[in-house]
Amino acid sequence: MTMTQVLYALEVARCQNVSRAAERLLLSQSALSQQLRRLEQELGYPIFTRTLHGVQLTPEGERFCEQAAGMARTWKEFQANVQKSALGIRKRLRIGMGSRVYSNDLFQQIAQFFEEHEDLDVAFVTEVGLDFISQLRRGTLDLALDRLPDTNIGALEKEFSICPLIREPQCVLLSPDDPRSRRTSISLYELQGCAITSGLEGSAEESTLLETCRRHGITLNRVYRSDGVETSMNLVRSGRCVALGPASFAAYHQVAAVPLTPWTEVCLCFICRRETLKQPEIAMLQRYLQNVCRERGILAESGK
């Protein structure tokens, strides 16, 4: 019996579902089931009974979990104390954060995570239009919370761990006084000849916008470029231009958001290099944010 197996069993008991526990533990369901079988074989009795809706503790399993819970608390305290005292070293994380983190009200939960983990130092990088993919490759960022670029998604998935958090409609952002703000949808082709706002020249945001316009044969009247989201939204609110952005920008920036047609979705993702996800603090933060989104009923489904 290993401590890892004990912690796995406790997580399954909390979730009452092997699939859900595997997701929280960042394991495949088959791998978790195999560890549970090994533990039960070594104990000589079943911990769980399988049902149509998940699992339930057996009487022996209830006694096992009661005793294991105290041991798990002691183990976590031991880990925390060892990590804090190890040569006084504090792990430092650099996190690239897109504006969707704020418009979806995730930042306070992220800050709370680091308040609860005093052994971690954090630097938030919020530069608008930052090419976070290049920064992740160079190792100057540990992870990014942002949308993916519109191109080469398949190649990125081979190199990076990409965990969807929040999926929402992509919209045309307008002044609330714009007559189009009362519509239920707007086609990209209706932006022909419009003024639009974007990131600075060479930024990932500008590149995505120009590629979208090129792909759809759209010619813009003017592009206002800015390195600040608030400046761009001021331009939109004043009616001088429109922007493309997620639905959550509407309430947060006090603009109107009309969904694009055909329907398009953008997804706020937890992105890091695959080898980086092996670091306990990175995996722990990912699980934490998944749980936050799940509890709020907004967690994006993978593979959509």
Instruction: Compute CA 254 distance to the chain's CA centroid, rounded to the nearest angstrom.
Output: 24
In the chain, where are the structural domains located?
Answer: 3-85, 91-166+267-295, 168-266
Quote the CA–CA distance of 304 and 302 in Å, as a whole number: 6
Closest Cα partner for 100 from 139, 70, 136, 145?
Answer: 145
Quote the CA–CA distance of 253 and 23 in Å, as a whole number: 34
Topology of the domain covering 3-85 = Arc Repressor Mutant, subunit A (1.10.10)
DSSP bridge pairs for 123: 94
Quote the CA–CA distance of 272 and 282 in Å, as a whole number: 9
Q: Residue 228: its pLDDT value, please?
A: 85
Q: Residue 152: its pLDDT value, please?
A: 64
Q: What is the pLDDT along the chain (304 residues), one digit of tens a residue?
A: 888 889 999 999 989 888 888 888 777 788 888 889 989 999 999 999 988 888 999 999 999 999 998 888 888 777 777 665 555 556 889 999 999 999 999 999 999 999 988 888 999 998 766 678 889 999 999 999 998 876 667 778 888 999 999 999 999 999 999 999 999 999 999 999 999 999 888 777 787 788 888 888 899 889 999 888 899 999 999 999 999 999 999 999 999 999 999 898 889 999 999 999 999 999 999 999 999 999 999 998 765 4
Contact of 224 with 198, CB cutoff 8 Å: yes
N-to-C CA span, the chain: 38
Distances in whole angstroms, Cα of residue 175 to Cα of each of 58, 204, 234, 239, 256: 60, 24, 9, 5, 6
Q: Do domains 91-166+267-295 and 168-266 have the same CATH topology?
A: yes
Alpha-carbon dihedral sign for residues 17, 19, 167, 225: positive
| Range 91-166+267-295 has CATH code 3.40.50.80 | no
Pairing state between β 143-146 and 91-97: parallel
**168-266 CATH, one of 1.10.10.10, 1.10.238.10, 3.40.50.1980, 3.40.190.290:** 3.40.190.290
DSSP secondary structure string for all residues of 56-110: EE-HHHHHHHHHHHHHHHHHHHHHHHHHHHSTT--EEEEEEE-THHHHTT-HHHH
